[in-house]
Structure 1
């Protein structure tokens, strides 16, 4: 592989919607796949679009490496389940496990390999705009639901997420994203080591112990250090 091809495998472009680089510019995505400068694609689903783009990557690029298709499948794909905060209010992890199992089957049948879920950001801030996607303020409850959702997406016992009715899970957002000051999204977070390890990190351990395939970095700083640019918690 050339250096350009190696870097290309790290690049993700958006097929539709303005949620990432290249959003809506489908020709640019196709050109990147053809040139071997693309590893994954956000917000693409449906047999027609996903199969056509996959053929370009496999049949027209020099190395023929298949693409990974990801989508935010948060509380349902075609079937809509209650928001994660409402599911957590049930105090029953089987609720979120069922959501993930059904969502995985529906998403995978539409060409999706990878979901950006579960979100396991513990938060005490009701003004935060993403609180509805969280399980609330308790790290134990969040950890239990995180593990259940990973198992639902990928299969029990660190299941094989390449199966035709499974998708890869993504534990997000690492870490302390729910502690943004003033409830302002992407804002700075300043926490002690004790609070970080006892409040924000346990759900991630639970998700990884359950076999979560991937982890998404958070968009905030912690103690002045960007989460996307540091190897330490």
Structure 2
């Protein structure tokens, strides 16, 4: 199983090609869908001012960043940290574009030459929730992820929130990984056979309120899937 790095950046503006730079990098490591604590968080001196709109988002002033390292001085360490890992990023094209520009300025090859595949959680969310708001804030609210400390956008905090969102987005996928090729029990496992015929299992019918709630949910699914609800097709 490969490492996964949930990654976020903050920048001086919106265009790496027009000279905007990364000012913060936040990375959270997952292994087997669990936080490992092997995280990475760095502020950078971008050697330029942040655009006014960007400053309102991240709140990282030029004075705060003045004594921070330049990206190029730590670029090799960042490459080694990310090497071979799957990168999980919200709106990945933005962050990847900035990282590749910083690597280019440092004389290093792009992400694809040393990192694993890039998973865009924004694209995933749009597939799961078409037509819905799928910003990080919206997904946190949808999954009940606490973002009460998010006064400003911060790369480390956003990466931590995104890790929680990603685990919720992909919940249930572990079941697809079960090896059903063998009926043999795992080594050391105890198998207990139970004869269910000895039990008188009652049949409990759904209450009217439960049936109404179920029908309302199916109606919502019909609307979002343009009438392709599998339950109705197979019912």
Of the two, which has the highest radius of gyration?
2
For the criterion TM > 0.5, the same-fold answer is no
Specify which structure has the bigger relative contact order, considering alpha-carbon pairs within 8 angstroms and separated by 6 or more residues. 2
